[in-house]
Amino acid sequence: MQPQIILLKEGTDQSQGKGQLISNINACAAVVDSIRTTLGPRGMDKLIVNPRGQATISNDGATIMKQLDIVHPAAKTLVDIAKSQDAEVGDGTTTVVLLCGELLNQTKKFIEDGVHPHAIVRAYRKATNIALAKINEMAVKIDKSNPTELRNILEKCAATSLNSKLIHQQKDFFSKMIVDAVTSLDPLLPLDMIGIKKVTGGSLEESLLVKGVAFKKTFSYAGFEMQPKKYNNPKIAMLNIELELKAERDNAEIRVDNVAEYQKIVDTEWNILYEKLDLIVKSGAIIVLSKLPIGDVATQYFADRDIFCAGRVTEDDLKRTMKGCGGAIMTTAHDLNDSVLGTCELFEERQIGGERYNLFQGCTQAKTVTLILRGGSDQFLEETERSLHDAIMIVRRALKHDAVVAGGGAVELEISKCLREESRSVASKEQLFLAAYAKGLEIIPRQLCDNAGFDSTNILNKLRARHAEGGKWFGVDVTNEDIADNFAACVWEPAVVKINALTAASEAACLILSVDETIKSPRAGQDYSQGMQQPGMAGRGRGRPM
């Protein structure tokens, strides 16, 4: 009798071998099933309620993946690739999860038949390289020298991204707005220079684009209403100073033995405040923004001198104002001169819905824009913001990487055809794996058909025939339940979306395939499966929690 060797802590869950790999693939398939139906223009939305009871309605793959609290270690890689796609490209998050799940699904029968996972991984890597070469060869370059054509292409890319979102009815309106926003930024296209503000009420068409900075009117004291609300070419002071009487520290103690001395202390306090206000007025600033509160005395003081002030401005807004209007954020009132004051062409306060907004237009320095969104409910506005974020990212990518391809499953089918041809020229087992990869790519057009309620087998047969004849841009036409040349139909997306999606999906699939053992350590304080308690935890007592 050999004694049993125990290496791992009691209660450790250890699974390995073929069954383990199949279970990982099944876990990924379960995740994919949860977001499968959100793909494409006819995709459904998901309503996710978090533990605090807040509801999120979303169609964006990355948002849904983040909200789902996935604990399965292998399935978490799908969440990671959705996040990376969101950060890198902004759109195509559902696509990348679907592709990865389907590539894994295709390998299941091989694994069950006893094929070594690394043979599959090798073939998948080869297939990915062929696919990427094919995309680069197919992609159509954007001609940047012709501004009208460039604008046209960018609007088409934004519209394609918005096609599958809640706001697809207004895609023409928003795609123009987004292209305006992105093209008015400086060449580096920084994302944080596009501010998005949400105001409930009104219709989506009332959303507006402010070429400059806009933020909500801050908390204000009496006297605020007496200040003018519109200026041309004002000087703007941005401060990080409290312009109100400071309450003394609780434990500060000053002993005075007569009233005159007490009066002196009070006067000094006021003088400190008035000195600051005086310096600000002398600097010539007509608009004073501060991160810290501006008190009632200061508000009245500025109102008497026709100066506009706003205290408690959030840091993001103040930074965007600084970058947009020039100047600097000052922590003292002593060095205010023209070099640290910003300026813009027009400042006004405008009523938008139930809120009042401060608008700085015609910013001289950096290019910054603000989108003010209107809409019925908070959830709807949040989803609109997420949709616009995706579209903004797409337009940025299209500007930086100047190549576009047709959407609607056209690219996937063309690569699939190319891989099938390639697989026939390979004599080894690899032939099967390349064909499996090619079949996996067909999930995108197939799912587009399923989500729209079409007969996917029928449409895919038509598409395969069309691609075999050389119609490389043919994809699913969701509006007419047929196939169409999606390049002519202006369903375009940046090639980088597809490149990133394929790379991320095949990398994740290879990663999951190369795992052959999962070891889960028991959580501290967790009951064992038999229901016994952990050693040393003898119930309550001695101040131990349950």
Q: What SS3 string covers 347-407?
A: EEEEEECCEEEEEEEEECCCCCEEEEEEECCHHHHHHHHHHHHHHHHHHHHHHHCCEEEEC
Tokens 């139909």 correspond to 489
Tokens at 484, concatenated: 């169409």
Cβ atoms within 10 A of the Cβ of 29, count? 16
Q: Residue 373: its pLDDT value, please?
A: 92
Cβ atoms within 10 A of the Cβ of 55, count? 10
Q: Would you name the residues annotated as active-site residues? A: 60, 93-94, 390
95-131 as b/e: b if 16+ CB within 10 A: bbbbbbbbbbbbbeebbeeeeebebbbebbebbbebb
Tokens at 99, concatenated: 């592709």
Q: Residue 15: its pLDDT value, please?
A: 74
Q: What is the pLDDT along the chain (546 residues), one digit of tens a residue?
A: 677 776 777 777 777 778 889 999 999 999 999 999 999 888 899 999 988 999 999 888 889 988 888 888 889 999 999 999 999 888 889 999 999 999 999 999 999 999 999 999 999 999 999 999 999 999 998 888 888 888 998 999 999 989 888 888 899 999 999 999 898 888 888 888 888 999 998 888 899 998 888 999 888 888 888 888 899 989 999 999 888 877 666 677 788 888 998 899 889 888 988 998 999 999 889 999 999 888 888 999 999 999 999 989 998 888 888 888 888 898 888 888 888 898 888 899 988 888 889 999 888 776 788 999 998 888 889 999 999 999 999 998 888 888 899 988 999 999 999 999 999 999 889 999 999 999 999 999 999 999 999 999 999 999 999 999 988 999 999 888 899 999 999 888 899 999 999 999 999 999 999 988 888 787 766 554 444 444 444 444 455 555
Q: Residue 544: its pLDDT value, please?
A: 52
